[in-house]
Structure 1
């Protein structure tokens, strides 16, 4: 009994010691938890009651390029869109144009009766400044830039902001309203240039990437696909232009004008130029081949020459055929094709012998069925070159060679 009692006492003492150890451990843990919890609640209190602050530090554009390779992107596999932007982003520019516009008063205020009673108190015609912002990109390292004509319309000097934050005064070297292309020159060297691709061979469904400064948000990137190709100016809603547009659903907004449209390899395939205000997801770009052809002429000559045939045309169908028979007093033998309804006196067409009532079948060996197709072949022919045109004259097929001439400014509206 004694031994058993002694052992029981030792066991009880040992048990008490273990319990004490456990209690002390729990007390330590609880104290630590309370301390950490108190710090958390205090920190949470600070966050809840502190004003919101940006998580990205604002960096001066003079020291921070917009498309710098970030460490995160360098360590991970970036997608093809990011890679394309890295290739072209440094060559994209912002253009701020300031032009003077006259503010004309209503004609009624110029009436002698008003002047008699109000005299000098009648407000006078005044001038106001209009400011516009667009995009562009660098096509040569010595400071040659390309943009849209409507971006710099009415301005001889523009403000050009490069991707690295530098600002230059740019001189508008030439504007071509017919294709909506303009060129600007800045005094700089060793500039990054945009890699140029081709638009020929594009098919709907291919990737399209747009870069520009929409709504004043500099260096914005949007992505979509090529929705369609070969859209005529009349289809787009600007019939006074001579361009076959690329259609894309990449978001294009005011301020994107003049910026590049890229393929998935980061090559420029077009210049973003127009949107449909009554639709969403419909943007249009000028093919890069057309843009560069016009830009080179503008830099070299200050203007672009457009080949001129000198005819007005309509696409034939059975209804149009009957109307033309009555209006032109003709007896047409076909109800399909491109009918010549007017020939400008002294034009290349008139000199070659083309007459009203002729039906154009082929131009440069290519079958045509619409005036737009004829116009496209005319645009591809340089001034001074011969253009072969096959016509149907009252059932008789004839082939004529037309010496193309530069279009006079007065002849560009409604005549090809």
Structure 2
């Protein structure tokens, strides 16, 4: 056969191309292209396994219990068939029965311990200090902490801070592994983060996502870290961790219409949280500064109207008489643009800066007034505390302003009296304990206790102080346009 170099060269080129294609498709040892693509994707995605191994032993499960009072109205029987009648005819209603006395002594109230909630927390020291959310432990009788190895300890509250929703608890243990503390101020949008906690009681559950916003304002005291990490009930108080294994936030809230995760979760920045921890360790509570002003936003239109170069600062709408701001010369209509050397970009910056300033500090302040900057100096006062956090201990009722019935009451608004045409009474502002068990709720109106009509909060307090705590009190409660009698056993 005659040799044709052109034809043979073409055949060789085609064979070479086929060999290259086969090599690309199957790799040097016959590896499929799909497998190689998956391997490339794995290399591109972050590997969380090492971070989880380093940190999950420092995350704890927290469960709480609550002691409630239970009163069986009919002794050993499960229900009282005449309870409905007592709602309408009063607590002493008892139909005449042959051979039975008219008066029947109520059964003695009993205490029962019930589960209250489940949350998460994480170790911040080797000797047992644990950081979690205030709402995880608030109102509990006992707190139990379970470590990653299954050991369970009874914890005590060192201190809580309701404004930031943080709590510091402690267990008696040594040689524990704390989580390293990172810096939340260095976080950036799009950065990978992890959450470890006990959603729905499922201990040591890991979820991952990215930081979707920083300094998210929600109207609360702190700016939040917003992420798309899956956080659900039970994750509260657990750590938000970066890929270096450092905690950068405390998981606290979710934005949801259903009560479950919907793609947005919020964490307390660890920089802010550790400032709170320092005060809780030392004092058991957090002391904050105040200057005594009511403030509002500065819009673009307002900024232009008053000659402010840009929309910034906090507009003063009212100055409390005799407050630090009043003494410093702050006036309504001023725009506070700087405090203690830091610029006020948004209205919400001012409460945080003032709150983090130690009471008694003399702080320079700059305000915009009548087209020019005015320098002032203010001596920061102390913000009244919402509660004495140090007095809250497991095994004792939480600190509260509620009375022996479990009620906190206020004056009834005049508009409500006019609407329903009644006089006297007090309105329920908060309810707990015996009153909550009896079915009372915020907004109810108390008209009568036993045989005495209630005229005012002061007179109500006198009635409560004279109650016989060994017997249930008959309380006439008005809700909307309906009134009914309720029996409440006072706390002893």
Q: TM-score if structure 1 supplies the norm length?
A: 0.69
1:271 partner SS: strand
Q: CA RMSD in A?
A: 3.2
What is the CA-CA distance between 1:366 and the residue it aligns to? 3.6
Q: Distance in 1 between matches of 2:276 and 2:46?
A: 34
The counterpart of 1:346, out of the listed 300, 319, 322, is 322
Structure index of larger Rg: 1
**DSSP 3-state at the match of 1:117:** coil
Aligned to 1:291: 273
Moved more, 155-164 or 179-188: 155-164
Deviation per CA, 1:308-350: give whole Å up to 9, x if none.
Answer: 121110113377799xxxxxxxx96669442111122332212
Equivalent residue, structure 1, for 2:124:
139
Partners of 2:290 and 2:353 in 1: how far apart? Answer: 11
Alignment partner, residue 59 of structure 2:
92
Shift of 1:369: 4.3
Instruction: Tell me the residue number matched to 1:358.
Output: 334
- Aligned-partner Cα distance in 2 for 1:318–1:143: 51
Partner of 2:50: 83
Q: Deviations over 1:223-254 (max 9, x none)?
A: 000010001232xxxxxx31110001010000
Distance 1:269 1:180 in 2: 16
Q: 1:264 aligns with which of 226, 243, 248?
A: 243
Residue of 377, 382, 390 corresponding to 2:358: 382
Kindly indicate whether residue 229 of structure 2 is the aligned counterpart of residue 250 of structure 1.
yes
Please say which of residues 398-407 and 190-199 is displaced more in the overlay. Answer: 398-407
Distance 1:310 1:202 in 2: 33
Q: What whole-Å deviation, never above 9, does each CA across 1:134-183 have from its counterpart, x for those lacking one? A: 00011111111110000001125300101111110100111100000101
1:254-305: per-residue Cα shift (whole Å, max 9, x none)? Answer: 0000000000111100000000122711001001111111112112111011
Find the aligned partners of 1:200 and 1:252 in 2 and give their Cα distance: 22
Q: Structure 2 unaligned segments of length 5 or more: list them.
A: 1-44, 72-83, 95-102, 388-492
Give yes or no for contact 1:115–1:122 (8 Å, CA) kept in 2.
Answer: no
Rounded Cα–Cα distance in structure 2 between residues aligned with 1:365 and 1:295: 25
Deviations 1:86-141 (A, max 9, x none): 1111110011111246799xxx9887832353475999999774510000011111
Distance 1:371 1:101, change over 3 A: farther
Cα deviation, residue 375, structure 1: 2.2
Q: TM-score, normalised by structure 2?
A: 0.59
The equivalent of 1:300 in structure 2 is: 282
Specify which structure has the higher proportion of helix.
1
Tell me the matched-pair count: 318
1:201-243 deviation digits (Å, cap 9, x = unpaired): 2110000100000001100000000010001232xxxxxx311
Larger mean CA deviation between 133-142 and 272-281 belongs to 272-281
